[in-house]
Structures are given as structure tokens and as C-alpha cells.
Amino acid sequence: MNRHDFMTFHSVIVNKGSGVLVNGMTSDYTYVLTAKHVISEQNTVKKKDGTELIVLNIYKHHNDKIDCAIIVVNYQADVSQQTCSVGNLPNAAPLMLVGYPELRRDTNIEIKHQNGVLVEVVDNSFVLSGDGIPPKNIILGMSGGGVYYIDNDIPYLTGVEFGMDGEDETEHFGRLRCNALSFFDDIIEKNNLRPMIPSFLECFSRIKDSIFNFNVADLSNIEELKSTLIRFVDKVVEDGLSPYFLMQRYNSKLLLSEKNNHNLKDRELWVAYCEFLIICLLIDTPEKADETYLEKLDENRRLIYYASNENWTRKLQDILIYAQSVFKEKGTLIVTSPQQNASLLPHPKTLEKVIEDISAIPQTGYDFEIDNTYENLYRNFIITHLQALHNHCVLDKEYDYKEMKIKEKIRFFKGLYYEIIK
């Protein structure tokens, strides 16, 4: 679905106001984030298609001055929000408020998508300046609606609107006050609820059907290989590793840019990490996938996520500097990104130029020389791309796999990956 359909799907009517559906790390219930003043003694929550959700519980923020609340409703399996902290947004970030104005409740176009820009952030609240300077009567009923940051046509939930900016109508000027998601995290923490994150982060089993989707010419050539690789997920789960545990362990070290922490909740990252982990486990053959194994793995191989379609080698300087920060002398860094035509390794000319740039350390005054120590260090790193690895080790060899028995296929698979990532 496109971004408008996505935001519409996750928007709900809460009494005379609005709300937004959000995942919790559970399949027992789903959250509706809204404004506190929207809540009444008897509460009704409806989706756009008229489906009424079952209200299980209501939690209001303990601070009377903070206008936010969470309604716990029956589990909604199709909810798949991605979130972003307002503190990470650029100046004048494009935002969109989605909700149900009272003026439209009896029309065929109930929902409204109000464009705007970020103009002010104070503590955990922010102000959205609505395009067209919408007056209060146009916005009335949208309180509790989700506010999204639009980045590369992808909507990231970043807050919830609760009112106009200013006590008097003469100072509104189409400016809307919104609460950041951190206030809702306060509610969750205080009431010992499950974290407000995508449910797939709870267990690798929830994404195992998405891993190793090799785009081969004939799926039957690698069908047995793929099903065997997927079965290793059950062993990883049994050993106690989960996306949420790994996210807590590595945090921003999984990302090329620490500024984009919202990408830690990208499904693509965890599909890639699951693949990376299984490949490494097959190569290393530890008894158990646990913290002891992760400590050894960290010394030799790392996965890093870059959420961009651009050529990954354009970021080679940042990637090499990152490699230097996590490896002592040598190591393998595997980049994963949406780039479909990624090269397996950086071009030698690109690598040479980047190493020369970052090895040029000023010595005295304005003179500088190439530091051979740094140059040799960077040449000890192996830098490659996960999708390109799959292309090299599986897609280009699919007919070789076809003629092998399963044990031979796994040995062949391991050997091909090990040639590159050691």
C-alpha cells in the first residue's frame, strides 16, 4: 500500500477524537495512542471501515499536564508501524497529521491528511505548522491523531497531536501541538506493559519466512537449501537470541549512521541480521548461539545496516572508519542495504582513493603525509555487501546446488561464503 493508505489503515476514531494504532512487543494486544482529553467514561474505538475494536484497558499519563493516553485493544495482526524520535528530525522536517475531523464525520471522506512542517521542539513536545493555516474548526476531532515524519516516501510515526498552539484563537496560525512518543513510553513503563515496538522484534520465528528469499531463475534449484537454512532459526530461538535482545546489545552500532536510530526497528535490518547470524553459525559451528558466541563473533565479523538505495561504496570512508572502531587489527564488515545491484567488493580504485584520503594525517603545520600504519590497517579489513554475497554464492551457482544432496549443498554454501567473509 502507498503511504496514504498505510497511514489511513493505522488511524482510528476514538469517541469524538482520533487515535493511531501501534505495535507492542506482544501478540496479546495492540496499542491505540491518543490524547487524554479524548477519553470518556464509555469509549468506542473504530477503524475507517467501521470495525469496532475491543477496549481492554486504558492508561493515562500520570502527569495531569501531559495530554496523552494509551488504549489497549484486542490484537491487530496487520499493524506494522515504524517510528522515529522527534529529536532525530531535521529542521523543517515534513510532517503529516492523520485523523478524523468532526466536520467530516457524516461525509464519505471522513479522514483528513494534514500536511505541515516541524517548527519547534521543546522537551518532549513539538509544534507542527499546518499547510494552508488550518483554523481550529477544521482540526477539531483530529486530537489524538498520529503525526508522521515523511522520509523518502516512508511514513515514520513520531508523535500524537493534542491541540492548537496558543490559548487564544488569534494566535493559532494553523500551528498544532503534539506529544512525542517518549510520553507514551512513560505510560508503558509505569504500568509494566510490553515495549512499544514491532512484534517481530520479540522472536526471529516471526520473520523466518522472509529470510533467504534468493531471487533465482528456478526456485526448485534451491528450495531444499532454503528450507534447511530456515530450520536453523528454530535453533537460534531455542538458544535464546531474539531481535530485541540483539537490539539492546548493539543499539546504534548496527547502523552506519547513529542519527537514524529509528532504523533499528526496520524489518529489513532484522531479516538481514537473521541471515548473517545463520551464515556465521554454519561457518563457525559453535555449540550454542549465546552471548559467549556473540563475543567471539564480534571480534571477527559485524553486520551494519545502511537504509539507502544509493551505491553503498559511496559511504566507504564512513564504513572503513566504523570498521576501525570495532575491530582491533582485522575483521569482516558486511553491509546490508536496499541496493539491488550492489557490488560484492569495493572497486580497487575506490578503495585506494578512500584509504589515501583517511590515511592522510596532518604531521606538522599544514604539511601531511600518508600514514602507512593506517593504510595497512584498512587493507586488513574485508568489506562486502550481503545481497551481493547472496548473488555470488547462491544465484550464480543455483544449477550447481540442483545436483547436490542436502549435506553437500550446505558444505558448498558454507565454503562459498567463507571464501569471502572468512
Q: Are 161 and 143 in contact (CB under 8 A)?
A: yes
The larger pLDDT score, comparing residue 288 to residue 83, is at: 288
Q: Is 176 helix (H, G, I), strand (E, B) or coil?
A: strand
Mean pLDDT of the chain: 90
Q: Are 79 and 22 in contact (CB under 8 A)?
A: yes
Q: What pLDDT, on the 0 to 100 scale, is given for residue 80?
A: 87
Residue 356 pLDDT greater than 50, yes or no: yes
Q: Is 127 helix (H, G, I), strand (E, B) or coil?
A: strand
Q: Which of 3-7, 273-277, 352-356, 366-370 has the highest mean pLDDT?
A: 273-277
Q: Which of 122-126, 194-198, 308-312 has the highest mean pLDDT?
A: 308-312
Q: What pLDDT, on the 0 to 100 scale, is given for residue 91?
A: 87
Q: DSSP of 25-93, one letter per residue?
A: SSSSEEEEEE-GGG--SS--EEETTSPEEPEEEEEE-SSTTS--EEEEEE--TT----B--GGGPPTT-
Domain boundaries defined on the chain: 3-190, 199-421
The larger pLDDT score, comparing residue 51 to residue 365, is at: 51
Percent of the chain, pLDDT > 90? Answer: 70
Residue 369 pLDDT greater than 60, yes or no: no
Q: DSSP of 196-260, one letter per residue?
A: SS-GGGG-GGGTGGGTT----S-GGGTHHHHHHHHHHHHHHHHTT--HHHHHHHHGGGGBS-GGG
> What is the value of pTM for the model shown?
0.78
Percent of the chain, pLDDT > 70? Answer: 93
Q: Specify whether domain 3-190 bears CATH 2.40.10.120.
A: yes
Tell me the chain's radius of gyration from C-alpha atoms: 25
pLDDT classification of 53: cutoffs 50, 70, 90? very high
d(C-alpha 10, C-alpha 59), whole Å? 20
Q: What pLDDT, on the 0 to 100 scale, is given for residue 83?
A: 87
Stretch 232-248: mean pLDDT, rounded?
A: 95
Residue 363 pLDDT greater than 50, yes or no: no
Stretch 180-198: mean pLDDT, rounded?
A: 93
pLDDT classification of 103: cutoffs 50, 70, 90? confident
Nearest residue to 140 via CA among 93, 197, 99: 99
pLDDT classification of 265: cutoffs 50, 70, 90? confident
Residue 113 pLDDT greater than 90, yes or no: yes
Stretch 150-175: mean pLDDT, rounded?
A: 78
Exposure string for 71-93, b = 16+ CB within 10 A, e = fewer: bbbebbeebbbbbbbbebbeeeb
d(C-alpha 356, C-alpha 203), whole Å? 43
pLDDT classification of 372: cutoffs 50, 70, 90? low
Q: What pLDDT, on the 0 to 100 scale, is given for residue 221?
A: 96
Q: Grid coordinates representing 69?
A: 493516553
Question: Rounded to a whole number, what is the distance in angstroms from the first to the last CA of the chain?
Answer: 40
Q: Which residues 6+ apart lie within 8 Å of 198 measured at CB? A: 23, 25, 80, 81, 82, 265, 267
Q: What pLDDT, on the 0 to 100 scale, is given for residue 186?
A: 94
For 115-135, what is each residue's pLDDT tens digit? 999 998 988 899 999 887 777
Q: What pLDDT, on the 0 to 100 scale, is given for residue 261?
A: 78
Residue 173 pLDDT greater than 70, yes or no: no
Stretch 63-81: mean pLDDT, rounded?
A: 94
pLDDT classification of 238: cutoffs 50, 70, 90? very high
Q: What pLDDT, on the 0 to 100 scale, is given for residue 263?
A: 84
